[in-house]
């Protein structure tokens, strides 16, 4: 499962490489100022494809937009959405 999630993160980060720089910085800035939920960010500053708050997780676009219908208890499968 860990290998799958790692490959998923890599694939999504490559797919989102053309996100404008101002959007890439939003995740890190939000993570630094938004308790109690802290978004998961990729190294380039975009949002990780899987976001969680407690036991509830959902799929997210690189700009932080929640992908409708993906919220679930546990890890959702976000590849190919």
pLDDT given for residue 31 in this prediction: 74
Rounded Cα distance between 65 and 23, Å, is 11
Which domain, by its residues, includes 20? Answer: 2-73
Domain with residue 58: its CATH number is: 4.10.800.10
Q: How confident is the model at residue 3 (pLDDT cuts 50, 70, 90)?
A: low
Output the average pLDDT for the chain: 74
What is the separation of C-alpha 18 from the centre of its chain, rounded to a whole number of angstroms?
A: 16
pLDDT given for residue 34 in this prediction: 60
Q: How confident is the model at residue 73 (pLDDT cuts 50, 70, 90)?
A: very high
Asked, for residue 47, whether it belongs to a domain, the answer is yes
Asked, for residue 79, whether it belongs to a domain, the answer is no
Residue written as token pair 């499962």? 1
The β-bridge partners of 57 are: 52, 72
Domain count, the chain: 1
Asked, for residue 53, whether it belongs to a domain, the answer is yes
């Amino acid at each position: 499962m860990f290998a799958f999630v790692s490959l998923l993160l890599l694939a999504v980060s490559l797919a989102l490489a053309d996100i404008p720089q101002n959007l890439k910085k939003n995740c890190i800035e939000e993570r630094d100022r938004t308790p109690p939920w802290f978004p998961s960010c990729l190294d380039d500053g975009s949002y990780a494809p899987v976001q969680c708050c407690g036991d509830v997780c959902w799929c997210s676009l690189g700009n932080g937009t929640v992908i409708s219908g993906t919220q679930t208890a546990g890890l959702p499968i976000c590849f190919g959405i």
